[in-house]
């Protein structure tokens, strides 16, 4: 007996196909179809989505699921549950695990864990360098053959320009992008927040925009030189946005992402030394925040990504200098982006859906982000106007390090469907 799904009366928004109208969605055995017969409709699991938006399952190309080796913070099981609660059906996990994912054996371990416990689609990335130490290239060919969709030393930017050049050239040979966390390490020794008025006021070591801008410029040059895609992660600086805009105007194969926290917050949030606002790259000033929003508006920045980075309460509950960088992002991304981009910045709902579905999928060439017939039935149903209070302590992540804990948010995921199967509905994991 085929498994049949019928979602009725939804406001369907599918930027990939241009569909935007109230209507129905149908799936058979995990694949979207254009229509059901009368007999199939009788057999279908029916979901009435009246008053809800139905869009492709959200896609996040920058998450940290911490497995292997850091499972006290998160696991693939808990991370994908948080993803489902946030409406994400596809995630790309970073390789800064313990040990780092710099060889085929570790990638196979991650793939086994995904197969065993993930409730959404998860794709691994591999390291650029052995041990993320920036000294020798990892075996890029074997990483690609084991299923890595990109290589990155995320969290530890490759400082050696010649090594980075060779990484891009090898990645080109194997047809996978290079993703880079843009940070000049020499300029950020001991830095914990944005360099400026607030860092001076708080007596904390400042992190200049230039530390990002210099590496963005380096990567633009290398992408043009090698003729291969470099994806710039979590851009935070106004000047970096302008560098990317100019590079794209010249046809350089560069892509980039913004994050919900960098469009919503500035370094003024650190006034109380709350480590839940400590992240890498740091929160910048209002000028930078607006530049990122404009970069998302005009396509300079290709997509949104959460940089979901779980840490335990006892790790975050330290002096500001000693606490780790990073915050949760999966369960709050959609309402934050709706608030900042749609309500405050005049983006259309369709544009925000595009930035969170088809655009990130295109960056890494993932089979996701569309409601076209024949595609995997990955669907998110959400109410853009529902108000709710986010309690990070009751969330689905193993950690609770969120700057939005206890805040009232507007816009909530009701149902998440992966390959035609409901995995999250009305606040609960299903199955």
Q: What is the pLDDT of residues 232-254, one digit of tens each?
A: 999 999 999 999 999 999 999 99
Q: Residue 300, exposed/middle/buried by CB under 10 A (0-12, 13-18, 19+)?
A: buried
Give the pLDDT confidence of 123-168 residue by residue, as tens digits: 999 999 999 999 999 999 999 999 999 999 999 999 999 999 999 9
- Read off the tokens for 249: 């105007």
Give the pLDDT score at 156.
96
- C-alpha of 132 from chain center: 21
Predicted pLDDT of residue 172? 98
Catalytically active residues, by annotation: 307
Q: DSSP letters along 240-296, please?
A: HHHHHHHHHHTT--EEEEE-HHHHH--GGGGGG--GGG--SSPP--HHHHHHHHHHH
**Separation between Cα atoms, residue 301 and residue 299, nearest integer Å:** 5
pLDDT computed for residue 1 by the predictor: 80
Q: State the Cα–Cα distance between residues 223 and 235, nearest whole angstrom.
A: 17
Under a CB-based contact definition with an 8 Å cutoff, are residues 382 and 52 in contact?
yes
For residues 290 and 266, the answer to whether their CB atoms sit within 8 Å is no
**Prediction pTM value:** 0.98
Query: Does residue 224 sit in helix, strand or coil?
Result: helix
What pLDDT does 431 receive? 75
Token duo for residue 40: 């199939």
Q: Which helix (H) or strand (E) holds 54?
A: strand 53-56
Q: Mind listing the pLDDT tens digit of every residue in the chain (431 residues)? A: 899 999 999 999 999 999 999 999 999 999 999 999 999 999 999 999 999 999 999 999 999 999 999 999 999 999 999 999 999 999 999 999 999 999 999 999 999 999 999 999 999 999 999 999 999 999 999 999 999 999 999 999 999 999 999 999 999 999 999 999 999 999 999 999 999 999 999 999 999 999 999 999 999 999 999 999 999 999 999 999 999 999 999 999 999 999 999 999 999 999 999 999 999 999 999 999 999 999 999 999 999 999 999 999 999 999 999 999 999 999 999 999 999 999 999 999 999 999 999 999 999 999 999 999 999 999 999 999 999 999 999 999 999 999 999 999 999 999 999 999 999 999 999 97
Domain architecture of the chain: domains with CATH: 4-54+376-388+407-429 (2.30.40.10), 57-363 (3.20.20.140)
As to burial, measured by CB atoms within 10 angstroms (0-12 exposed, 13-18 middle, 19+ buried), residue 195 is buried
């Amino acid at each position: 007996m085929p498994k049949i799904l019928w979602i009725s009366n939804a406001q369907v928004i599918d930027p990939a196909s241009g569909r935007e109208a109230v209507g129905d969605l149908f799936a058979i055995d995990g694949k979207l179809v254009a229509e059901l017969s009368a007999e199939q409709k009788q057999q279908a699991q029916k979901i009435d989505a009246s008053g809800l938006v139905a869009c492709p399952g959200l896609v996040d190309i920058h998450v940290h699921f911490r497995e292997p080796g850091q499972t006290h913070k998160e696991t693939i099981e808990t991370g994908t549950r948080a993803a489902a609660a946030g409406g994400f059906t596809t995630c790309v996990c970073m390789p800064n695990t313990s040990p780092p994912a710099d060889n085929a054996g570790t990638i196979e371990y991650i793939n086994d864990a995904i197969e065993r416990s993930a409730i959404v689609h998860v794709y691994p990335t591999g390291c650029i360098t052995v041990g993320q130490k920036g000294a020798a290239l990892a075996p890029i060919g074997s990483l690609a053959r084991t299923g890595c969709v990109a290589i990155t030393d995320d969290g530890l930017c490759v400082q050696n320009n010649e090594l980075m050049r060779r990484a891009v050239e090898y990645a080109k040979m194997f047809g996978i992008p290079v993703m880079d966390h843009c940070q000049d390490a020499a300029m950020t020794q001991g830095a914990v927040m944005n360099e400026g008025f607030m860092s001076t006021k708080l007596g904390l070591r400042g992190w200049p925009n230039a530390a990002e801008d210099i590496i963005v410029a380096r990567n633009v040059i290398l992408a043009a030189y090698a003729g291969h895609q470099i994806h710039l992660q979590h851009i935070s600086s106004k000047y970096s946005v302008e560098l990317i805009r100019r590079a794209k105007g010249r046809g350089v194969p560069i892509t980039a992402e913004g994050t919900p926290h960098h469009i919503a917050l500035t370094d003024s949030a650190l006034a109380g030394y709350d480590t839940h606002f400590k992240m890498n790259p740091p929160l910048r000033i209002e000028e930078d925040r607006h530049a990122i929003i404009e970069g998302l508006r005009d396509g300079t920045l290709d997509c949104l990504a959460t940089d979901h980075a779980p840490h335990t309460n006892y790790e975050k509950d330290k002096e500001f200098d000693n606490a780790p960088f990073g915050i949760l992002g999966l369960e709050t991304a959609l309402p934050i982006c709706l608030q900042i981009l749609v309500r405050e910045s005049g983006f259309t709902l369709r544009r925000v859906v595009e930035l969170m579905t088809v655009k990130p999928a295109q960056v890494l060439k993932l089979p996701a982000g569309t409601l076209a017939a024949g595609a995997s039935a990955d669907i998110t149903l959400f109410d853009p106007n529902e108000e709710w209070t986010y309690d990070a302590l009751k969330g689905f992540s193993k950690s609770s390090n969120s700057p939005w804990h206890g805040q009232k948010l507007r816009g909530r995921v009701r149902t998440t469907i992966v390959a035609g199967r409901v995995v999250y509905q009305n606040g609960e994991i299903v199955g």
